[in-house]
Chain A
Amino acid sequence: MADTFTQTLPEGVEARELGSEWMELNMGPQHPSTHGVLRIKLKLDGEVVRDSDMDIGYLHTGFEKSFEDKTYAQGIPFSDRMDYLAPPINNVGFTMAVEKLLDLEVPPRAQAIRVIMMELARIGSHLIWLGTGSLDLGAVSTFLYCWREREQILDLNEAYSGVRMMTSFTRVGGVAWDLPPGWLEQLQRFVDLFPSRVDDYEALLTNNPIWKQRTVGLGTISAAEAIEWGVTGPVLRGSGVDYDVRKAFPYCGYEQYDFNVPLGRAGDTYARYLCRVQEMRESIKILDQAIRTLPDGPWITDNRKVALPPRDELPQSMEAVIHHFRLVSEGFKPPAGDVYAFVESPRGELGFYMVSDGSNKPYRVKVRPPSFCNLQALSKMIEGRLMADVVAIIGSIDIILGDVDR
């Protein structure tokens, strides 16, 4: 019991005075609850974490460097694989940066499809977080139920993009395909069903005394501290700071949708849990509106210097053949300059800083990964907590090591 324990060790009492020694304990990188390959060196005073040291890089893939060697279009499938639980959001972030370089308009239908895919990804990612996070603390049924609903999201991904996870569905100037027939109905069924599922999860967890004992008051970070640490996403909002990129700097037409940004107050693990659960409900609200307001029209820009020509023109139009050949082999060349494009990923602000030197490949792409920034605050959150709580707190930050290490 965290509460009772901290009471026995009042503020200001040094462990050394009690005659005990600190023990260094290695957690990870193969620890199941680190959700990837994170290694934490814990300095323990008995069961209490006094200090910790994060060791990351086990999943370093060098994607940022790889972007420099790929054309802008070829970078999109790479972006999927950074935050592999929310690939569509990565796709959109990367593509938005390129579009910003090109100063390119994206047709409204493409914007709406992007929003739909991103919100599905957000729900999917939160479901994984909820499932594994609760599994870490022993709640196996939640895990199974979350997986069941995520499966429906993956089915939607597959029906639209042909792949369950690594969708790579955006193209510079829009999206790769229009929605297939019947897809919106499938989505509507999910949207109708899902809120009741969220009720089920909440029935299992929200008032559950065991869940609360493992989460309430744990890993607390105040609003001021969270801002100082550069934390974003539900971790920041769990501390009561109202910052969501979708509201603060709307993109892809998010300003058209009516939704709320759930805020917590206590900044503890439980607050973050509540924020995320509520965010899933808000995402469903956005999806519901998007289905009803989905505009007609093209799903990719008609700018032939950027987007591949329609396939039916290839057998007759020389212009189309040349543009197709050049775009595929060499790609377009945005003007020199640098941009920062950022989106709200399930984990927080995902930013792409992209520098163009006027060639067909980015000169530099720097990703601002939310997981990496949020993870920095972990040391602060677990300090003075029980060893067993570290697991719950890592879970509540919701890191993806692919996102941390890139």
Chain B
Amino acid sequence: MSDEDREVDGKPDQPTPLRGPDEGVPPHPEGKRPSVAADITALATGLKTTLGEFFSPAVTLEYPEDKSPRSERYRGRHYLRRYENGLERCIGCELCAAACPVGCILVIAAENTDENRVSPGERYAKTYEINMLRCIFCGYCEDACPVQAIVLGPEYELSDTSREKFIYTKEKLLEPLPPDVQARLDSKGPK
């Protein structure tokens, strides 16, 4: 950084000394050392702080019995939503798969027929799979979905016993949302 740049932004800044002139950075170790009394004072100050904490309430939670609440925007496990009439929202457009930076979504579309109507319109997702081991929970799929079919819910405890079980199939993703998430999404509007 040159002086020129400094002048460009108009206000020359004075770096503050950290503390008073003697306190800022202690002199070289070979110089004078603080007295023993000062050391004891310093240690006592620290002990006072810890002692104070001893009498203040605990901030920790006893997980998994107690859990802190997740925020409304939490990006956890995915859900596929349905319309009130039971039809799937997902139209199999594959935009979520295109938006996904890690390629963890697989969508294979098929055509709705009158006998087999899965979603409104012409197209539905015959296969919808998310590889939760790959997913980085960035929420791009939710942004990409033109019909708000896919949402990220508040669940974050996704451990399981085999890799296969982390391929979330359409059946699993279509499980009903937690009621509070459902209520929040419903309040967002009709579409």
Contact = CB atoms under 8 A, between A and B. Distances in A.
Interface of A: 2-3, 70, 73-78, 81, 141, 145, 148, 151, 155, 158-163, 166, 168, 176-177, 180, 200, 203-210, 212, 216-217, 242-243, 247-250, 255, 260-266, 268, 270-271, 274-275, 278, 308, 311-312, 314-315, 321, 324-325, 328-329
Classify the secondary structure of A's interface with B.
Answer: helix
B127 interface: no
Contact of A266 (B25, B53, B148): B25
A270 B19 CA distance: 13
Nearest to A238: B25
Contact of A203 (B38, B46, B139, B144): B46
Given A77-B101, A78-B101, A274-B19, 19 more contacts: A158-B74, A162-B74, A163-B75, A180-B73, A207-B42, A209-B42, A209-B43, A216-B29, A242-B1, A248-B6, A255-B9, A260-B13, A263-B17, A265-B24, A265-B25, A266-B26, A325-B95, A325-B146, A329-B95
B139 A324 contact: no
B189 A312 contact: yes
B138 interface: yes
B122 interface: no
A208 B139 contact: no
B57 to A, nearest CB: 12
B18 interface: yes
A163 B74 contact: yes
A208 B95 contact: no
Interface residues of B, number: 54
Nearest to B100: A74
Contact of A208 (B46, B71, B101): B46
B137 A163 contact: yes
5 tightest Cβ-Cβ pairs between the two chains A and B = A207-B42, A162-B73, A77-B138, A74-B101, A209-B39
A168 B15 contact: no
B140 interface: yes
Contacts of A212: 26
A247 B13 contact: yes
B15 A263 contact: yes
B74 A274 contact: no
B191 to A, nearest CB: 5
B73 A216 contact: no
A261 B12 CA distance: 12
A328 B95 contact: yes
A204 B68 CA distance: 29
B25 A270 contact: yes
B26 A216 contact: yes
Nearest to A308: B143
